[in-house]
């Protein structure tokens, strides 16, 4: 995958201060190739690579696990920003019946997606939905929508074969209004390619139906063609969103990237199969992961976070060698653990971590406990932090007042610190070799 390849390129760079232009260029070649493989249009690839290069050259590498991972992260973030950072969904914020118009080429998945959306709105949002097929060209198309509607338990407008698409749109609007429907979805006819007749017809339907959403349905598998189609439809009809179908199967997430870049319109939903529930919200970050070949971005973020702790652990290891563990260190620990959202911080890197964790806030970690303990240490003088033995009764009272806690909590923290310091001593005697190995690797 791309992440693997980037990893290889950057393996040799560990520990240099910042990414230089030559390093980044090597990575960019891989990124370019991967994007093209993922079916991203050349024009988008070019612009994208340029953006990433700008962000990557000179970026500090010290804090990341490996420079490769850091570049992957930059690429990932940039992908997400191009794809649109937030998942956008269908907007139903309008007077009922809210009309959705489905447009796109023949075979792109309009009729299937119409029924899928209807099912989703009915099941998840308890909406009363009416479907209408304006595909007068093929009687079978109307029947197809009727059958799908029946399958998902949603009403379809009765078929009248003598009407024009515009007449059907009018009848559908009336029926939607009188029938008390929340949502009306108009499925339109497609063509095998974009032509003026189709555009004119769809534009007329738009002016009559005045849809709240115009959803452009495009087939992800048609790659570059889908982009051109999307562009022409969007220029003429000004779509409000894109639905990408056939995102199931191979990893052609690249089409999404091009689509977004070409039209600037958000991808609202993706079709991931023929079944009626094979419709998903579009998550830019998942598509970015797919393009990069990273199974799971969460793991990357975790690795990055763990790396920060590795740096701090290194400092800690040095202190352990000297045999000191004061309140300053404890505070660093608490902040670290808070940042890591739990017990996976530095403690996780030390042997005997299980016992240490117990000695800390307790098995049931509560953020507020960390905050209170940090507040206590903040209320100590520098001297007290460095010399835990200084904490006599009057000092404890002063600290408690400063931190806004009971003296008993100061006692608890002092006891906890002593236990940890003892534990640290044992750990440092037995395990410095392995610790060093851990921090180096
Ligand atoms: P339309 O001509 O635009 O209305 O396209 P249809 O809705 O009739 O779909 C054409 C074919 O594509 C049908 O066989 C669908 O089952 C299939 N299809 C639609 N969406 C998806 C999808 O997300 N994944 C897969 N694998 N097939 C799909
Ligand atoms: Mg159809």
Closest C-alpha to 217, from 137, 109, 118: 109
Q: How many whole angstroms from its chain centre is CA 230?
A: 24
Query: What is the band of 67 on the pLDDT scale with cuts at 50, 70, 90?
Result: low
Asked whether residue 85 is marked as a ligand-binding residue, the answer is no
- What's residue 77's pLDDT? 82
**Residue 116 and residue 146 in one domain:** yes
User: Which ligand minimizes its atom distance to the CA of 134?
Assistant: 2
The residue-averaged pLDDT of 200-207 equals 91
Closest C-alpha to 268, from 230, 234, 209, 217: 217
Q: Taken in order 355, 359, 364, 367, is the CA torsion positive or negative?
A: negative
Residue 293 belongs to a domain = no
64 ligand 1 Cβ < 6 A: no
- What's residue 338's pLDDT? 65
> Which residue out of 245, 247, 271 has the highest number of ligand 1 atoms within 8 Å of its CB and is therefore the one to mutate?
245
Residue 91 belongs to a domain = no
114 ligand 1 Cβ < 6 A: no
User: Is the pLDDT at 139 greater than 70, yes or no?
Assistant: yes
**Residue 78 and residue 11 in one domain:** yes
Task: Flag whether the ipTM exceeds 0.85.
Answer: yes
Q: Which of 169-173, 246-250, 255-259, 284-288 holds the top average pLDDT?
A: 169-173
Among residues 284, 319, 336, the one where a domain terminates is 284
Domain of 74, CATH number, reads 1.20.120.140
- What's residue 349's pLDDT? 38
Strands in 220-319 per DSSP E: 241-245, 267-271, 279-281
The residue-averaged pLDDT of 124-134 equals 96
Residue-wise pLDDT tens digits, 355-390: 444 444 443 445 677 788 889 999 999 999 988 889
Query: Residue 276 in contact with residue 151, Cβ under 8 Å?
Result: yes
Among residues 30, 52, 83, the one where a domain terminates is 83
Residue 89 belongs to a domain = no
Residue-wise pLDDT tens digits, 418-439: 877 776 666 555 443 333 322 2
Residue count of the chain: 441
- What are the percentages of helix, strand and coil residues in the chain, rounded to 5? 60, 10, 30
Closest C-alpha to 326, from 400, 375, 384, 374: 384
Query: How far from 389 is each of 259, 377, 401, 427, CA to CA, in Å?
Result: 65, 14, 19, 21
Average pLDDT over the chain reads 78
Residue 177 makes CB contacts below 8 A (sequence gap 6+) with 96, 97
User: Which ligand minimizes its atom distance to the CA of 275?
Assistant: 1
Min mean pLDDT across 180-184, 303-307, 430-434 is at 430-434
User: Is the pLDDT at 131 greater than 80, yes or no?
Assistant: yes
271 ligand 1 Cβ < 6 A: yes
Asked whether residue 247 is marked as a ligand-binding residue, the answer is yes
**Residue 272 and residue 327 in one domain:** no
* Higher-confidence position of 337 and 195: 195
The residue-averaged pLDDT of 187-191 equals 86
Beta bridge partner(s), residue 103:
216
- Protein residue whose Cα sits closest to atom 19 of ligand 1: 109
**Residue 321 and residue 222 in one domain:** no
**Residue 414 and residue 339 in one domain:** yes
* Higher-confidence position of 145 and 329: 145
Distance CA 235, CA 38 (A): 26
Domain of 317, CATH number, reads 1.10.260.30
Question: Which pTM was predicted?
Answer: 0.64
């Amino acid at each position: 995958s791309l992440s693997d390849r980037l990893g290889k390129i950057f393996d040799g760079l560990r520990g240099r201060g910042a990414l230089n232009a030559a390093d980044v260029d090597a990575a960019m070649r891989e990124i370019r190739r991967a994007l093209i493989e993922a079916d991203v249009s050349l024009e988008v690839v070019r612009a994208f690579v340029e953006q990433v290069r700008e962000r990557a050259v000179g970026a500090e590498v010290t804090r990341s696990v490996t420079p490769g991972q850091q570049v992957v992260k930059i690429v990932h973030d940039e992908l997400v920003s191009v794809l649109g950072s937030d998942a956008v969904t269908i907007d139903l914020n309008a007077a009922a019946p809210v009309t959705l118009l489905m447009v796109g080429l023949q075979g792109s998945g309009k009729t299937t997606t119409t029924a899928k959306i209807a099912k989703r709105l009915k099941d998840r949002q308890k909406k009363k939905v009416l479907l209408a097929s304006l595909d007068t060209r093929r009687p079978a198309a109307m029947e197809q929508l009727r059958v799908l509607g029946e399958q998902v338990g949603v009403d379809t407008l009765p078929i009248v074969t003598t009407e024009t698409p515009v007449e059907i749109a009018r009848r559908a609007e009336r029926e939607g209004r009188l029938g008390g429907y929340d949502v009306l979805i108009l499925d339109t006819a497609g063509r095998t390619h974009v032509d003026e007749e189709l555009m004119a017809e769809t534009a007329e339907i738009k002016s009559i139906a005045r849809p709240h959403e115009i959803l452009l349905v495009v087939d992800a598998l048609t790659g570059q063609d889908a982009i051109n189609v999307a562009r022409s439809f969007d220029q003429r009809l000004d779509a409000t969103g894109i639905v990408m179908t056939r995102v199931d199967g191979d990893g052609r997430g690249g089409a999404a990237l091009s689509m977004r870049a070409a039209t600037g319109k958000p991808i609202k939903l993706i079709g991931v199969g023929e079944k009626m529930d094979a419709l998903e919200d579009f998550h830019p970050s998942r598509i970015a992961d797919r393009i990069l070949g990273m199974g799971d971005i969460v793991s990357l973020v975790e690795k990055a976070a763990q790396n920060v702790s590795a740096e701090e652990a290194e400092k800690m290891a040095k202190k352990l060698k000297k045999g000191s563990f004061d309140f300053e260190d404890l505070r660093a620990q608490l902040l670290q653990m808070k940042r890591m959202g739990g017990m996976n911080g530095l403690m996780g890197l030390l042997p005997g971590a299980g016992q240490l964790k117990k000695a800390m806030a307790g098995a049931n970690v509560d953020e507020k406990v960390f905050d209170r303990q940090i507040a206590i240490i903040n209320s100590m003088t520098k001297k007290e932090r460095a010399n835990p033995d200084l904490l006599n009764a009057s000092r404890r009272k002063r600290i408690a007042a400063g931190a806004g806690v009971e003296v008993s909590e100061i006692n608890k923290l002092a006891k906890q610190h002593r236990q940890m310091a003892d534990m640290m001593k044992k750990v440092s005697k037995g395990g410095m070799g392995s610790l060093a190995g851990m921090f180096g690797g």
